[in-house]
Amino acid sequence: MIRSALIVLVSLLAACANLDKSQLDTGMPGLNVASAALAGGSPEIALRVTNGILAKQPNNVPALLSQGDALSALGRLNEAKASYTQALVADPHSAMAQMELGRLDLRSDPAHAQVLFLQALQHDPSNTTALNDLGIAYDLQGDHANAQTAYRKALGTDSTMRAAEVNLALSMALSGQAPEAVRLLTPIANAPNAPRRVRDDYAAALAITGDKAAAAKILSANLTPDQTERAVQGYGEFSQ
């Protein structure tokens, strides 16, 4: 059960990564088209555009990043990793390349992801996305104290960063502060049009406090009874 609970946690935290791709808008017409295609849910178009640019400019770092994003969206993760790695070779100071490589490693090797996020922060110390992702890497290794420090640093720079706020609450729940986490998440999860992932996070915090009935009620809106039971049991593993 611990293994399944960890898988649940990875899914929750990864869902609260801040996926801002606005850095790809460089003013280059082709890359603007690729950025718009990614934002519009058309990674195939973005990939064709970036492939065309890279055929003429193989070391164009923004194009390599965009290519990696498109490949990642298409589930072609090994190819995406190759694109980000090539971008980092072309520009060893590219915080975005380090961050994207770190995100690809989060599930399989959070310790290495942590190293990459720290490297990105050396080049851009106030990067709130990198701080949030660093917190996730710490949490997935059980280092909740450092995770919460990273989330709070992100919120200190941008107090409206919902991903960091939600991840902070989850981390608190995992480190024996579940009631405080529930109080933090309650207004967020009950807000009009709150995303499903936030409601799922709220359910996780409730289950960790022992309120499995309330957690099941939230989860049952989108899961089958069997899926709901397994999810609540998985979250409950972290109450020990």
Average pLDDT, integer, range 59-76: 96
CA distances from 51 to 67, 73, 92 (A): 7, 15, 22
Please tell me the predicted confidence (pLDDT) of residue 23. Answer: 46
Query: Where do we find the tokens 């207004």?
Result: 187
Contacts of 161 (CB under 8 A, 6+ apart): 18, 128, 132, 154, 155
Q: What is the pLDDT of residues 223-240, one digit of tens each?
A: 999 999 988 988 877 765
**For residue 109, what pLDDT is reported?**
94
Among residues 217, 195, 197, 196, the alpha carbon closest in space to that of 206 is found at: 217
What is 18-102's CATH number, 3.40.50.2300, 1.25.40.10, 1.10.150.20, 3.20.20.60? Answer: 1.25.40.10
Q: Mean of the pLDDT values across residues 16-45? A: 73
pLDDT value, residue 13: 61
Instruction: Express each pLDDT in 91-143 by its tens digit.
Output: 999 999 999 999 999 989 999 999 999 999 998 999 999 999 999 999 999 99
Mean pLDDT over the full length of the chain: 88
* Residue 180 CA, distance from chain mean position: 22
Using the predicted structure, report yes or no on whether residue 85 has a pLDDT greater than 50: yes
> Can you give the pLDDT at residue 197?
87
| pLDDT(19) > 70 | no
Task: Give residue 142's region: left, alpha or beta (phi > 0; psi -120 to 50).
Answer: left
- Percentage of the chain modeled with pLDDT above 70: 87
Checking if the pLDDT of 21 tops 80, the result is: no
CB-side neighbour CA atoms (13 Å) of 84: 23
> What does the pLDDT read at residue 24?
46
**pLDDT confidence of residue 107:** 86
Asked if pLDDT for residue 4 goes beyond 50, the answer is no
Encoded tokens for 197: 């992932």
* pTM of the predicted model as reported, rounded to 2 decimal places: 0.84
Say if residue 147 is exposed, middle or buried (CB neighbours under 10 Å; 0-12, 13-18, 19+): buried
Distances (CA, A) of 32 to 53, 59, 62, 65: 12, 18, 11, 13
Q: What is the DSSP string of 10-52?
A: HHHHHHTS----GGG--S-HHHHHHHHHHHTT-HHHHHHHHHH
Where along the chain do its domains lie? 18-102
Question: Do you know the residue count of the chain?
Answer: 240
Give the tens place of pLDDT for each residue, 166-204.
999 999 998 999 999 999 999 999 999 899 988 988 999
At 53, the amino acid letter reads: I
Answer whether 100's CB lies under 8 Å from 65's CB.
yes
Question: Residue 193 gets which letter from DSSP?
Answer: T
Is the pLDDT at 144 greater than 80, yes or no? yes
The predicted structure's pLDDT at residue 9: 56
The confidence score (pLDDT) of residue 160 equals 93
Q: Strand runs (DSSP E) across 97-138, as ranges?
A: none
Rounded to a whole number of angstroms, the distance between the first and last alpha carbons of the chain is: 12
